[in-house]
Structure formats: C-alpha cells, structure tokens
Amino acid sequence: MGNFILMPKLGMTMTDGKIIKWLKNIGDDVEKGDYVFEVETDKTSLEVDALYDGKLLKIFFDEGETAPINYPVGYIGAEGEEIPPLPEMENAPAAETETKAAPAAAAPKAAPKKEAKPKKKIDMSKFDYELLVIGAGPGGYVAAIRAAQLGAKVAIVECDEVGGTCLNRGCIPTKALYTSAKVFGKLKHCADYGLSVSGAGFDWKKIMERKDGIVKQLTTGVAGLLKKNGVTIIKGRAKITDANTVEVDLNGTKTKHSAGYIMIATGTQPISVLKNVDKAVKINTTDDILAMQTLPKSMVIVGGGVIGVEIANIMSSFDVDVTILELMPTIIPMVDAEISTMLKSKLVAKGVKILNEVTANTIKKDGKDNVLELSNGETIKCEYILEAVGRGVVSDAFADMKLSTSPRGFITVDESMCSSVDSIYAIGDVTGGYMLAHEASEQGIIAVETMFGEAPTGEMLIPSCIFTEPEISFVGKTEQQAKDAGIPAKSFKFPFAANGKALTLGESDGFVKVVVDERYGEILGVHIIGPEASSLIHEAVMAMNLEATAQSAGHVVHAHPTLSEALMEAFLGASTGAIHM
C-alpha cells in the first residue's frame, strides 16, 4: 500500500500552500528524502521532500494550484497499484510522519473573527475628536495613549477612577493581597529555611492600606500618562446617541461630544445566579472583598473559577475557614486536568473545603450566620458569602445603538475590533473572550492601529495566569483540546522537583507541561503550575509566536540555575529528550 504526499504545514498560521513546481514526473522513481515539489506559502517558499520510497503515481494538484494543509497533493506507491480515492476536502487527513492512505480527522482551525471591514476615509474636521474612548480600564486607557502617539486627537470618558476594574477592583488589588498572603506563608514556614521568627502575625488593616497605596500609585500614574500624551479626560457617564456622538452626564449636567470613531471599553460587572436568598443575607462580590475592613471567621465562595480560587488562597492564608462550592466536577475547569487536581490538593492542604457538583439551593439568616442548604443535602453555616460566578457587560453606554451582540450581550466585533456600526469599535471585557487585562490592552492597540496606522497582522496568543500557591499559567491548547481538534498531540512534563533553582527557593511543587504536534514538533500549548509560573509563561508565548518548534526552543541556552531551565527541559523532553530526567 502506497502513501499520499500531503501538503505540509510549514508554519503555525499556514492554512494552504501553492504548488510552484513539481520536481518529479509521474512514473519517476522517488527515494525517501528526494525533493518532490516546491511550495509557496504566505511567508516562504521551499522544496518538500518525500517521506517514502516508490513511484510517483499521481499528481492531484498541478503547478499553480493551491492545496490545503494536510491534504493529498500526490501519491507514491508501487507500479500498477490502485490509487485510493481522495478524501473529502473538509475531511483532509491529519498528516502523520508516515501518512498512510487512510482518511483521518480534519485539521483544526481556530474560529476566526470576521475579517476586518475595509477602512473608509473619514473627514475628521467635522468632529470634536478623532477618537472618543468610553471607559479608562486597561483596554480604554492603553488605546487612548496609543492613538495619541499615532497623532490622533483623543478624549476618554470615565465615570469612576481611571484604571478600570484591573487597577481599582481586580488584578492589582488582588495581587497586592496575594503577595501579603504569600509572604505571611513564608514567615510561617521560615523554619524550612533554617530561620526563626517569633510572633509572626498580620494586621489586615495595614494589608489593605498597602493594597490601597499601590492602587493609588498606579491610577495616578495612568492619569499622568493620559495627560502627558495629550488625551482629554472627560469625567462622567457616557451614552452613545448616534454613530458619531456621545452624551456625557456628570451629576446631571449633560454635554455632547462628537468623534470620527467611538470606542466602547466599558468592561463588565459581577453577575449573580443565586436563588432563594433571604433578604437579610448579604451576597458579596469581589468589589466587596476588596473593600473589606475586617476578616470574617468563615467564608463560602460560590464559584471555583479563577477568581474563586485566588480569593480562597488569600483568605485561607489568613486563617479564614473557606468552603468553595463549584457546580462543575473540577475547580478551574478550563485548565489542564492535572493542574486543576494539583491545585485542589494544595488548597485542601491549606484547609479549604472544596465541594464539586454542588450549589446552594437556599440561603437564610440565623442570627449572625448565613445558613446555606446545598444541592447535596448538606447544610453549612458561614459568616461571609462571596459569589464569584462570572461577569456581565456594562451596557448603558451603548444600550440605544442596537449593536450586534452575542446571546450573553457581549459586543460582536471583527478582526480589527469594529462593531456592526462602522464608526464604533469595542474592546476588552465588553467583547467577551478571555476577559483579561492584557487582552483588553492588545485589542485596544489593534483597533487604534487599524484606525490611525498600519493594521497589525498575525495571531494573538493570550496567556492566562492564576495567582494561587503554586501559581498557574498556560497558553494554547491542552493535550486533550488538541486531540479533540483532531491533532495527533503528545505532551511532556518536567517537574520543578528536578530544577535546582526551585529547590533552593523551597518551591519545588509543580511542573511544566509542553504539548506538541507529533508530526512537526509545533508547540501547541504550555501549561505550568509552580513557582513564578506567571512570569515563566512568556517564554512559551514568545516561542509560539515566533513559531519555534519544541526542539528549537529546547536548544535555546538558558542560564543556570534558573526556573526557566524547567521550560527548556520540557521543550527538550517533548522533542529530543530532557537531560535532567
């Protein structure tokens, strides 16, 4: 039985290739390693070699024709052999190193956003501003600064403090508390380092003051940056009244502002799904936690997602008795299964109770306590309830505009972040997606560079980090996700226990897992649980962005002793072999 010659995937973003020249003719003998055809992609052109010996029996795509990746372009077999029929185009076989003539699963494709609409020339002289941004979170303020750097006349409307959820009620304040929790944990375990400290304790008020100080420093810095870049800050609540006009309400005084482009960056707010809650019961959000003046003795966290586990980690560090209720069978269900299991065991070891596939059916008040009747029949009491089940769009700014949205109300945008109305763009959490600060910022940059500069190209890889102990980070696909998408994937796991620096830090729990496409060594995903996971992941993002293979990334020299050697070893393990395992 012969073999199809497949159009190879020569880069992460390659979807098809054009046959420039056949280097063998039908009937020619072919030896493994012989060049058989020349291909041109959007980035390169090169010669493709044969993976098998035999005769070139059939050419399916002539010179000048384009074939999708992993689809047969020719057939090598024995003289007189019957050539099998071509698979359906949409069921192109997933190529193997030695591809047999048998159909297999389709090659995966990322669900792309709609292609950007062609840019129209706008007469900006008619408007007060070239760009008016609504919302000064990490999406909006970064977009405003970049647009100003590109020479645009920009205003930004904010009804609260600049910095948005990220600086005021999200990333930064939670990480300030996380750091206090981590340092306190180190103090408690200082004997492990041969140290002794007496009277280690904490002052919640001072921890909160430290957090507030960091937030203030950063929000002041952002306001200064906006000013320095010539961005006009308009205080008040904005509402878009037509495709180029925004009305701003500041304590009842309304002003109108026109702009060639309007950008919606209004973010999200906590949502609630709890039912049958007694009126006397207070259901708290993360906004409440971050303003909490005293620590409760006990806390139930409804939702075992990223925010739920981060808060559980912080609270349990300060001896709050924490219970997580999670509807799904695992906590942080979106991450690699082994990582989720490991985090669960770490939280449990800190005293956190985790109840999976459980929710609260009713919540009542009994004196000072809240009483939760759970779906598993149990009843638990606690002093404080945090609901962290997700966030919904802040929509008043665009409520009258009939923009196209998803069923959950997130604004639908194209590749350049343009909404269904040509002059209105939307970025950040209000468009859904990963709902992370760095995604919002990057989307803002893409949008304004499309408006005022060169539209950026290329895929946007978004790393995710979870600030627990140990930290978690990931980018790309898990092995399971890759396999579900029909990719022959394999993974390699390098433990921090085999990394010298992690041992010296006393933080050797965890691992780096690299997922690769078995055929080409393409890095499909990297998943880390361990020390400084949130910093280490960027090496993986860089490698994937630059389309390095696991082998080439593994051959990058890493200084010793460093945590990043664990990444190098994991890349090597997924290709030519790890050294220290």
The site for ligand FAD (CB under 6 A) is made up of: 134-140, 157-160, 164-166, 169-171, 174, 237-238, 265-268, 286, 307, 394, 396-397, 428-430, 435-438, 440
Task: Output the smallest distance, CB 443 to ligand FAD, in A.
Answer: 8
Rounded Cα–Cα distance for residues 529 and 470 (Å)? 6
Number of other CB atoms surrounding residue 447 within 10 Å: 29
- Token look-up 């002093």 returns 383
| Residue whose CB is less far from ligand FAD, 210 or 490 | 210
Task: Output the smallest distance, CB 6 to ligand FAD, in A.
Answer: 39
Number of other CB atoms surrounding residue 461 within 10 Å: 15
With a CB cutoff of 8 Å and minimum separation 6, the contacts of 577 are: none
Active site (annotated) includes residue 560? yes
Would you say 309 and 322 are in contact if contact means Cβ atoms under 8 Å apart?
A: no
Strands 523-530 and 471-476: antiparallel
**DSSP code of residue 398:** G
- The shares of helix, strand and coil residues in the chain, as percent rounded to the nearest 5, are 30, 30, 45
Task: Output the smallest distance, CB 150 to ligand FAD, in A.
Answer: 19
- Dmax (CA) for the chain in angstroms is 89
| Residue whose CB is less far from ligand FAD, 387 or 569 | 387
Task: Output the smallest distance, CB 458 to ligand FAD, in A.
Answer: 21
Query: Which of 527, 555, 560, 580 does the annotation list as catalytic?
Result: 560
| Residue whose CB is less far from ligand FAD, 34 or 161 | 161
> What is residue 555's three-state secondary structure?
coil
| Residue whose CB is less far from ligand FAD, 174 or 323 | 174
Would you say 572 and 556 are in contact if contact means Cβ atoms under 8 Å apart?
A: no
| Residue whose CB is less far from ligand FAD, 19 or 248 | 248
User: Cα-atom radius of gyration of the chain, to the nearest Å?
Assistant: 28
Q: List the beta bridge partners of residue 476.
A: 525
> What is residue 225's three-state secondary structure?
helix
- Token look-up 């999976």 returns 356
Q: For the chain, first and last CA: distance in Å?
A: 39
Residue 83: phi and psi, rounded to 5, are -90, 125
Task: Output the smallest distance, CB 245 to ligand FAD, in A.
Answer: 14
Distances (CA, A) of 153 to 13, 229, 257: 35, 10, 13
Task: Output the smallest distance, CB 48 to ligand FAD, in A.
Answer: 41
- Contacts for 450-453: CB closer than 8 Å, 24+ residues apart: 450/116, 450/119, 450/416, 450/417, 450/418, 451/119, 451/130, 451/131, 451/147, 451/152, 451/261, 451/425, 452/130, 452/131, 452/147, 452/150, 452/151, 452/152, 453/150
Q: Which amino acid is at 367?
A: G
| Residue whose CB is less far from ligand FAD, 174 or 359 | 174
CA 520 to chain centre: 24
Task: Output the smallest distance, CB 442 to ligand FAD, in A.
Answer: 11
Task: Output the smallest distance, CB 138 to ligand FAD, in A.
Answer: 5
With a CB cutoff of 8 Å and minimum separation 6, the contacts of 291 are: none
| Residue whose CB is less far from ligand FAD, 430 or 544 | 430
Would you say 465 and 534 are in contact if contact means Cβ atoms under 8 Å apart?
A: yes
Task: Output the smallest distance, CB 291 to ligand FAD, in A.
Answer: 12
| Residue whose CB is less far from ligand FAD, 163 or 260 | 163
Closest CA relative to residue 302, chosen from 336, 279, 280, 277? 277
Q: How many helices (H) and strands (E) does the chain have?
A: 13, 30
- Token look-up 């020390």 returns 531
| Residue whose CB is less far from ligand FAD, 98 or 396 | 396
Catalytic residues: 560
